[in-house]
Amino acid sequence: MFIFDVVPLTFIPLSQPQLLSYFSPKEAQKGGVVEISLGKRKSLAVIIHCEPVSKRKAAIKQADFSLKPVAKILTPTPIFAPISFQLANFLSHYYFIPLSFSLKTVLPKNLLTLINFLNPPLTDNLELIKSNQSTLENSKLPPRGLNFPTLINLIKKSNKTNAQILILTPTIFHQEYYYHKLKTEVSEMNLVNFSPSWPKKQYCQLYQNLISPKENYLVLGPKSAIFLPWTNLDLVVLMDSNNPVYATTQKLPHYNTLTVSKILANYFHAQLAYFQNY
């Protein structure tokens, strides 16, 4: 018998515990996904810690409540990139939002489809937390006002094996414009014109390609692309970085993409650049 400490992928107020405990007859790893009972409803949850019941016997006996069983183990091994947990943790602390909500924001929306697509999971024994956690304090100010030839030069200088490059755009107009300009300049990379409205299968295929990289990828997309499962990022570029669209204020959680991009770049020791010329 095992105890799972999990974070539900639903909104739980900050005043309530963000980490809940359940028991299961089967073992699972950190980052696995389970279905739990939360009040009168079901919710997906991510395993943060798993250990045998024998290690918590004393605490269980003294508790004035009884643990509930996990309803279902959907995947016993992690299918998320470590950066996803780093970003969720950063959003929670920096913007003072519940970890349950920040984790739901960062992780893929169609989890059940993704779990079925990645069967068996690709990231067995993946470490979820790196020791060199990124902070804003050690971030450098990125270069601003790059012109297009300089941008192409930055892309072609990427020397990582199976490198990943992210270019964020504030609008669909920007994205389509730069996609067609880049198509003729970076033929040596897999250029992806990402959209959150992609069909589920197309999204899952990109997810698989990024979390288990075997080729160079350049992904062009809106600000939500910052939460894709990056594993080998070498360059992050924000087009028209002064555009107010990068500050998410219309819906929760509120965050600034420029701030999050610094955490993302620091985590991978990737170069960060702001592009402001048309």
The predicted pLDDT at position 238 comes to 94
Q: What is the mean pLDDT of residues 47-67?
A: 80
pLDDT at 83 over 70: yes
At residue 124, the pLDDT reads: 43
- What are 214-257's pLDDT values in tens digits? 889 999 999 999 999 999 999 999 999 889 999 877 777 889 99
Instruction: Give the 3-state secondary structure of residue 91.
Output: helix
Domain chopping of the chain, boundaries? 2-117, 148-275
Please compute the mean of the pLDDT values over residues 38-47 and round it to a whole number. 92
Domain 148-275 carries which CATH code? 3.40.50.300
Residue 121: per-residue pLDDT:
56
Q: 217-221 and 190-193: which strand pairing?
A: parallel
Burial (CB count <10 Å: 0-12, 13-18, 19+), residue 78: buried
148 Cβ contact list (under 8 Å, min separation 6): 181, 277
3-class SS of residue 177: helix
Question: Whose CA is closest to 71, among 137, 122, 25, 17?
Answer: 25
pLDDT at 22 exceeding the cut of 60? yes
Note the pLDDT of residue 129. Answer: 39
Instruction: Look at domain 2-117 and name its CATH class.
Output: alpha beta
pTM of the model: 0.85
- For position 131, what pLDDT does the model report? 37
206 Cα distance to chain centroid: 14
Mean pLDDT, residues 85-109: 93
